[in-house]
Every structure is written in structure tokens, then in C-alpha cells.
Amino acid sequence: MSRSNLLVLATGGTIAGIAGHAMRQDYRAGQIGIDQWLADAQSLGMEARLTGRQIANVDSKDIGPAIWSELYEAITDAIADDAIDGIIVTHGTDTAEETAFALDLTLPVTKPVVLVGAMRPADAVGSDGMRNFVNAVRVASDPDAAGRGVLLVMGDRVLAARDARKVRTRGTDDAFRGFPRGGVALVTPGALEWFGRPWRESDGARFTFPREWPRVPILYAAAGVEAAMVGRLVDAHCDDPAASGIVVAGVGEGNMPESVTAELARLASEGLVVVRASRVDEGLVDREPEDAANGSIAARALNPQKARILLKILLANAVRDPEAIQAAFDDP
Ligand code: ASP
């Protein structure tokens, strides 16, 4: 590995978690500070030079726009700094896919940016944190990691932000999967194998990072879900329904009861952006003829939580034309 200079931005999560006893089931996320973490990592004899900064030390359930904004600023500065070759963000696994995707949509791709987490706290038997971190160091040290957007390292797999999703609440092996692309590389502390060339066509950021993040609720469809839920969600969570959006975590291929479709179509005709995603884990939602009639958008391969992020960013960037919104979902 060449001697690269990496900036490590720490936000907490299980990778910085401590149980206090190897046999305990419960633990506290976000306990180990970045200085301690880097001292432990450097003792492994890594060639990369690591500089740390503590952005937060929280469970990732509490991460949202405020911490995204701090990460965005810190990474933007690091990208502009010739002394830094790559950036690593340590993060809880619960919302890592959302942070990765929000940054992926708003950062340029000129340097490697890699998120990494762990499923087991640092003092658990068989803790995965340090190995995942060393793997992330290898990925972030490789100039070839640039041009692929924000990446997520979990286990020995490298996933693209667009594809990464947490699919298990326990265990280290298959907790994360990529959809529709599986992994984009395999990594170990000693080797890195990319499965293809960088795919981003231009180096620039795709969207401006929002100063204000519009609120976008998710309606979770289920058997018998009532149309009245739509009104309640929109009234409570959309500042101006004529300029806001909603994501439906639909059943199957983004479906919902007729009464819900009708109510959403009525609101769409008044300006609400309605995105149909799927509650199915690997649910691809294609555009259907009814979407034109109902004024809805198909989320394609994005799960509801990622569809929500993309829609927030589109609305914040004043993208409201349905064709432009659909195009962004077709090629996120
Ligand atoms: N609850 C933890 C978090 O997201 C889970 C993890 O990191 O694995 O912060």
C-alpha cells in the first residue's frame, strides 16, 4: 500500500461502541473517541497516515441533516486540500446507507470517500470493526476508488452508495447487500479487487447540498391501509403540500389500495410529488402507464429511505418537473 494521507471523520455507531463485557448483549454505540481509535489502528502497522476528526459520537439513529452538513463541509475542505488523498467516515450501520447516498448525490468524485461501520462493538468476541476499518483504509488509499462516488465498506465487500442497504439486524457476514448491483469490489487488509471501471461520467457534484432539507414523509403501505393516512401524513409533515413530496413504501412493485392511489393522485394534481417505492427488500419499481395518469414517479431500484433522500435533494434544488424527477430516479 502506498503511503497515503487519509482524513478520518468519526461520527460514532457500533464501530465505536463498547459493551463493557464480552458476553453482554446490550452495548452503547459511540463510546470510543477518534484519537483512541486511530492509536489502535496505527499499532497494526498500517502504512497510511491517518488524521482524525470527531464530528459526532452518536448512534446513527440520531444522524440527519445537521451531521450530514458537517460531514459535507469537512469532506469538501478535504477534497480541496492537496495534502489529503482520501476520506473515511466511521458511522453507525443503521443509517449508513442514507448518509452515504446523501453525500454521494452532493459531493464531487475526485477523491475516494468511504463510509465504514461495524455490526459488533469493539470489545465483542469477534468484533468486526477494526477489520472493516483497515479494509476501508485500503479502499480510501487507492486512487482508483475516485470516480465511483461514495463507497461503503462492510466486511470484505465494497458497495456503492446507491446500492448499499442494511438487510440484517444481526451478524457480520451478510448484514449489507448491494442492489441492483451487488458489491463493486472485494477488499481485505492485503488486497483490493475492483469489478469494473469507475462509472461516474463527470467529476462534479450532481446536486447542490441543501441548506434546508424539505420534509418528505414515507407512507408505509400494508394490507388495508386507509386513504385517510395520506391526509394525516401530508398535513403533519409537508410544510406546503403544493411544493412538497411523499414517498410510498408500497406493497410488491410499489402498489397500494385504490383508495390510497386516488387520494395521492388528487394531491399530485395540486402539486405534491408522489414517489412509488417498494417495501420489498430488493424491490424494483418500474414506471407504469398509471403513473402518467396519476402524476406519480417510480422509484426504480431505490428503497423508500433512499427515495426520500433523493426527493428531498431534488426539491431543495428546485427540480419539480415530473420528467426531470423521473430521470433522476432512473439514473440516481
Ligand atoms: N445502532 C447502531 C448505529 O447505527 C448500529 C450499528 O452501528 O451497527 O449506530
- Which residue numbers are catalytic? 14
CATH code at 128? 3.40.50.1170
Give the C-alpha separation, 314 to 323, whole Å.
Answer: 12
Q: Which protein residue has the closest C-alpha to ligand 1 atom 3?
A: 92
The number of distinct structural domains making up the chain is: 2
Give the nearest ligand 1 atom to 59 CA: 9
**pLDDT, tens digit (0-9, with 9 covering 90-100), for 251-301:** 999 999 999 999 999 999 999 999 999 999 999 999 999 999 999 999 999
Report yes or no: 120 and 153 within 8 Å, Cβ to Cβ: no
State which residues form the domain around 267: 218-330
Nearest to 5 by CA among 113, 115, 110, 86: 86
- In this predicted structure, what is the pLDDT of residue 143? 95
One domain, residues 50 and 135: yes
**Strand pairing category for 86-90 and 49-58:** unpaired
Whether 224 and 187 map to the same domain: the answer is no
User: Longest C-alpha distance within the chain, in Å?
Assistant: 62
Using DSSP's 3-state secondary structure scheme, residue 52 falls into strand
User: Which secondary structure element, helix H or strand E, spans residue 246, and what is its range?
Assistant: strand 245-250
Rounded to 5 degrees, what are φ and ψ at 102? -60, -40
d(CA 22, CA 121): 9
- Shared domain check, 225 and 189: no
Closest CA to 100 of 85, 118, 88, 86: 88
What is the DSSP secondary structure assignment for residue 115, as one 8-state letter?
A: E
Whether 206 maps to a domain, the answer reads no
Q: How far is the CA of 69 from the centre of ligand 1 (A)?
A: 20
pLDDT at 29: 87
Task: Tell me, yes or no, whether 199 lies in a domain.
Answer: no
53 plus 182 within the same structural domain: yes
pTM reported for the whole predicted model: 0.96
Residue 112 Cα to ligand 1 middle (Å): 23
How many other CB atoms are there within 10 angstroms of residue 71's CB atom?
25
Answer whether residue 229 is part of any domain: yes
State the closest ligand 1 atom to the C-alpha of 118, by its place in the atom list counted from 1: 8
CA nearest ligand 1 atom 7, residue: 92
Please state, in angstroms and rounded to a whole number, the distance separating the CA atoms of residues 117 and 46: 19
CA distance 291 to 227: 18
Ligand 1 geometric centre to CA of 239 (Å): 30
> 175 with 256, same domain?
no
- Ligand 1 pocket, mutate which of 14, 90, 169 (most atoms under 8 A from CB): 14
DSSP state of 300: B
Counting ligand 1 atoms within 8 A of each CB, the residue from 93, 133, 165 with the most, and so the one to mutate, is 93
211 occurs within a structural domain:
no
Q: What pLDDT digit, counting tens, does each position of 157-188 carry?
A: 999 999 999 999 999 978 999 999 999 999 99
Q: In 3-state terms, what secondary structure has residue 120?
A: coil
Let me know whether 175 and 252 are in one domain. no
Tell me, in angstroms, the distance from the centre of ligand 1 to residue 225's CA.
30
Confidence of residue 242 (pLDDT cuts 50, 70, 90): confident
- Which of 133, 159, 194 delimits the end of a domain? 194
Q: Is residue 209 part of a domain?
A: no
Q: What is the CATH number of the domain that holds 287?
A: 3.40.50.40
| CB of 256 closer than 8 Å to CB of 225 | yes
How remote is the CA of residue 59 from the centroid of ligand 1, in Å?
6
Q: Ligand 1 centroid vs 282 CA: distance in angstroms?
A: 22
Residues 163 and 15 in one domain: yes
Q: Which three cell numbers stand for residue 114?
A: 468511504
Tell me, yes or no, whether 288 lies in a domain. Answer: yes
Q: Is the domain of 164 the same as that of 222?
A: no
Same domain, 115 and 174: yes
Tell me: do 68 and 30 sit in the same domain.
yes
Q: Is residue 66 part of a domain?
A: yes
pLDDT at residue 2, rounded to an integer: 58
Query: What pLDDT score does 12 carry?
Result: 97
- Strands annotated E in 257-302: 273-278, 296-298
Query: Residue 22 to residues 72, 154, 191: CA-CA distances in angstroms?
Result: 35, 22, 30
Tens digit of pLDDT for each residue in 203-220? 999 999 999 999 999 999
Closest Cα to residue 20, out of 133, 121, 119?
121
Domain shared by 83 and 190, yes or no = yes
The 10s digit of each residue's pLDDT in 18-59 is 998 888 778 888 899 999 999 999 999 889 999 999 999 999
In this structure, the answer to whether residues 226 and 177 fall within a common structural domain is no
> Would residue 210 count as lying in a domain?
no
Pocket of ligand 1 (CB under 6 A): 13-14, 29, 59-60, 92-94, 117, 119
